[in-house]
A and B are shown apart, each in its own frame.
Chain A
């Protein structure tokens, strides 16, 4: 085409290396990780969390005492070289029990967060992607559950589920003789997970929905449709990777709050029940004797508090690191 127009176009000058000589390849995730590590509180939180996970996995194998071993000659002893965090009313080693409590807390909170984010992901992405009446109904249910107090739900579920489940376990034990069915703590853990999950998923659903609505309006999704990609591929390669950031943040904070809720339920006697240690039921035990043996209350409470704060700081750190607005 000839340039006989008023608007003269200067000749193309595209330098292949223009502007791209000083940046080296790196992935967005590595980049986010690097930025996160600059925040001291986040690093401390991460260290605490790693210690917690280590305790949860290996704790029972490395503790000096068995968490159930009683020594009635040493009740409510103060911390000493033999018992770092003292002993409880039945003469059990508190340090070993706190460490076992980490296992309970981690197991419950990981499963709760996994399940509730999964439910939230499914409900939220359907609501956000399909929209219309489906969205309206799903969000109505979500809001209803979100408004429901978890303690009431906890009592209701616990009271209605525990007897039949316990009975079923006994039946199975009698039928099979398998000692695994004598572990009534499984029933407790199961019920706690159900209770917390059923009230923990709505915020994930809301979050995922708003993320999906935001992402699906982006040009890159339109361009993907113009390419003829299937809905499944668009959701998998475009919608989920771009909406997952805030969900990860929420999951981190959710781990902390699930631990707190598990402790609250166990404290009230509708969660994990003794003799299986949970920080919540240890705090409750400690409360009875807090004047004479305050360490029984302080030890689990401090660990619980630290973990909740650590997860919340990690969430904040992730939030800053994953926020696309901070990308240059």
Chain B
């Protein structure tokens, strides 16, 4: 593996939402969306972040971009703790960190032409001189596989896949180095998903990008990631190089997720032993004590229900939070 430098470090990150419950909002509750998460992202890599829906993946992404303000914890980027910066101090840094959203249909302003939408980030951060704005927009459209004629069109004239390509190059327009991709293909037709993945990979190569690639589907992450992080109910379960996670998972939750992927070969598919996930994911309003996963884990012991497992490194390089894993 190539030695890479860290680009962004997330340290003990918590994000809670105060919500009102009941028909009349008579009760208050706290959603523990992100419940103490540590990881770093290496320059030039794609870190895949997987977990069931509602486990806090998007919240991690939004908090990194300071679209949500963290309840506590630090996010180190370029020697600065983003959580401590004011909106104004963040503005120049926003050029460097961008996001691609799940739903391309609502990510483009319906009242702005594609040309305006692509020029906006360039003008805002003045990444090129004024007279080169249009050539740059044309270049970006080319990156998205669209002709320069699209500049005067409105988003509603494009298909979902085309819109997501536009969103991707728009995120690139201000020359960022790090992009959070929040399930960029899950709202799209299967037939165009591969296109988007390939586009993301081509652009990563062309512009030296670093991705945090969020997905609930391990197979997508397997294709695109260098390292994979698995999240469960606001906490990290396991993080490591892709091959290690896919070929030798150690966290029972990772194992269960992997075994949920069907294998194309029916013989292997039939003969393999399964660690199925039973029961529903507990509510983030009231996460279980100890290891959050113990209510669904077939190996859970008394310790698991009492004590939160440490986030520790194993000799093979992976990080894991499980009492059963030996250091």
Q: Residues of A at under 8 Å CB distance from B?
A: 1, 3, 5-7, 9-20, 23, 25, 27-28, 218-220, 222-229, 237-238, 241-242, 324, 327-328
Chain A residues within 8 Å of B95, by CB: 228
A20 & B222 in contact (Cβ 8 Å cutoff): no
CA distance A154 to B9 in the complex (A): 64
Q: Residues of B at under 8 Å CB distance from A?
A: 62, 65, 67, 90-92, 94-95, 97-99, 101, 103, 106-112, 120-121, 124-125, 144-147, 149-150, 152-154, 156-159, 162, 165, 167, 170, 174, 194-195, 197-199, 201-202, 219-220, 222-224, 263-264
B153 & A223 in contact (Cβ 8 Å cutoff): no
Chain A residues within 8 Å of B107, by CB: 219-220, 223
B199 & A12 in contact (Cβ 8 Å cutoff): yes
A20 CB, min distance to chain B CBs, angstroms? 6
Chain A residues within 8 Å of B98, by CB: 226-227
B99 CB, min distance to chain A CBs, angstroms? 5
Q: Which residue of A lies closest to B262 (CB)?
A: A6
A219 & B106 in contact (Cβ 8 Å cutoff): yes
A23 & B109 in contact (Cβ 8 Å cutoff): no
B252 CB, min distance to chain A CBs, angstroms? 22
CA distance A224 to B91 in the complex (A): 11
B101 & A25 in contact (Cβ 8 Å cutoff): no
Partner of A28, one of B154, B167, B174, B219: B154
Partner of A220, one of B62, B108, B144: B108
B198 & A228 in contact (Cβ 8 Å cutoff): no
* Chain A at the B interface: SS class: loop
Chain B residues within 8 Å of A17, by CB: 147
CA distance A314 to B154 in the complex (A): 26
B101 & A219 in contact (Cβ 8 Å cutoff): yes
B106 & A5 in contact (Cβ 8 Å cutoff): no
Would A20 and B125 be within 8 Å (CB), given that A7-B220, A12-B195 are in contact? Answer: no
B153 & A23 in contact (Cβ 8 Å cutoff): yes
B87 CB, min distance to chain A CBs, angstroms? 9
- Given contacts A227-B98, A229-B124, 10 further A-B pairs with CB under 8 A are A1-B201, A5-B219, A13-B195, A23-B153, A27-B154, A28-B154, A220-B107, A220-B109, A228-B94, A237-B120
Chain B residues within 8 Å of A228, by CB: 90-92, 94-95, 124-125
B112 & A6 in contact (Cβ 8 Å cutoff): no
Partner of B111, one of A1, A23, A241: A241
CA distance A108 to B198 in the complex (A): 61
A20 & B156 in contact (Cβ 8 Å cutoff): no
A14 & B195 in contact (Cβ 8 Å cutoff): yes
Chain A residues within 8 Å of B149, by CB: 20, 25
CA distance A10 to B191 in the complex (A): 10
Partner of A16, one of B147, B152, B220: B147
Partner of B101, one of A18, A27, A222, A327: A222
A16 & B145 in contact (Cβ 8 Å cutoff): yes
B104 CB, min distance to chain A CBs, angstroms? 9
CA distance A75 to B170 in the complex (A): 73
Would A20 and B147 be within 8 Å (CB), given that A6-B219, A219-B101, A226-B67 are in contact? Answer: yes
A252 CB, min distance to chain B CBs, angstroms? 19
B152 & A227 in contact (Cβ 8 Å cutoff): no
A28 & B111 in contact (Cβ 8 Å cutoff): yes
- List 10 A-B pairs, Cβ < 8 Å: A1-B224, A12-B202, A14-B165, A16-B147, A17-B147, A219-B107, A229-B124, A237-B120, A241-B112, A324-B156
B320 CB, min distance to chain A CBs, angstroms? 23
A239 CB, min distance to chain B CBs, angstroms? 10
A168 CB, min distance to chain B CBs, angstroms? 45
